[in-house]
Amino acid sequence: MVCDALPMALGSRQPEPGQLIHHSDRGVQYVSQAFRKLLQVHGIEGSMSGKGDCWDNAVVESFFGSLKSERISWRSYQTREEARADIVEYITMFYNSRHLHSYLDYQSPDEFEKNGQLANVA
């Protein structure tokens, strides 16, 4: 799923190579050869939290916590496609557009980006 999500995100924002850092936890999907290759191909630097230390990537850990508690923990997906569509909807229709972040001075990521600031969140 993450190998599908990254090209979608890049297509919608079209950043310059070398402009991004991808923060993640040490989940198997992020350490996979396929995902690491995608980062390399698109000129994205990978950044992972230290083993057992969620504070290394507090922003992304906060995102994963929100995603799990606000969306996926109480849903039962029948297919991978259903899960993908629901998570994409959550990120694009709620998290990026309406979810306020203390890290972004209590703005949504879309508002933060619109105000000319580079977003450093999902």
Q: What is the pTM of this model?
A: 0.56
pLDDT tens track, the chain, 122 positions: 788 888 887 887 777 777 788 877 777 888 799 999 999 998 998 887 777 666 666 777 788 888 999 898 888 999 999 998 999 899 888 888 888 878 788 988 888 888 876 544 44
Are 60 and 33 within one domain? no
Domain with 5 in it: 1-48
Q: Are residues 43 and 85 in the same domain?
A: no
How many domains does the structure of the chain reveal? 2
Distance CA 112, CA 104 (A): 7
Say if residue 27 is in the same domain as residue 61: no
Q: In Å, what is the CA distance from 59 to each residue of 25, 66, 83? A: 11, 11, 23
> Both 22 and 76 in a single domain?
no
| Cβ atoms of residues 67 and 61 within 8 Å | no
Q: Does 40 share its domain with 85?
A: no
Note the pLDDT of residue 25.
Answer: 74
